[in-house]
Amino acid sequence: MSERRFFAKLARALGVFLAESAGPARDDLWMREALALADEAAARGDVPVGALLVMDGRIIGAGFNTREHAGDPTGHAEVVALREACRALRRWRVDGATLYVTLEPCPMCAGALVNARVARLVYGADDPKAGAARTLYQICDDPRLNHRMAVQGGVLAEACAARLRRFFQEIRARRRAGEGEGAGAGAAEAEAGFKGRSTRRGDG
């Protein structure tokens, strides 16, 4: 099955299951699904980051990091999820949608969220070296831009950060054992940047 069909099928299935979720636990439920996507990225040799785009209680786009697997520098989970959503909606705007992602977006992804008119961003772990929603920059709600969104960080932060720490620990262990470069240079760059720092609310 192609990645495009995989994401479309996943979005339909999860949308049916989670559409009725309500209350303060809703963000946690969606983030757990994003974590499952992050695990899929790790299984394919990519840095474990997963993202969901939700509108009217249903998933309209889903994605995980594909940069190493696809050899695409723009293959971040947020961008993959946005592309899937825009194909489903047959337009470039996703007004009213919420983006759930396990790691704070980088400048490229934060800019894409602004351009797509995402209404709300919910992310898990802070990114101390590339975070562009709160940590280094505040692109998503910068008053100088033509669109701003609500931002909520720290949802299941520790569980999100733990995926990244475990992934990089396994890469280092393989290198010590002489089993090659793991997920490649791109993952090494991410490892250098990500310190596993997570704050606010977490739930393993």
pLDDT of residue 111: 98
With pLDDT > 90 as the criterion, what percentage of the chain qualifies? 72
pLDDT in tens, 131-190: 999 999 999 999 999 999 999 999 999 999 999 999 999 999 988 888 655 455 455 555
pLDDT of residue 181: 53
pLDDT of residue 187: 58
Q: Is the pLDDT of residue 95 over 90?
A: yes
Average pLDDT on 39-64 reads: 97
The one catalytic residue among 3, 33, 40, 78: 78
Reported as a pLDDT band with limits 50, 70 and 90, residue 22 is very low
Distance of CA 23 to the CA centre of its chain: 22
Higher pLDDT: 179 or 12? It is 179
pLDDT of residue 21: 46
Q: Are strands 98-103 and 120-125 parallel, antiparallel or unpaired?
A: parallel
Q: Which residues contact 36 (CB under 8 A, 6 or more apart)?
A: 50
170 given a catalytic annotation:
no
Residue (of 54, 42, 151, 38) closest to 103 by Cα position: 38
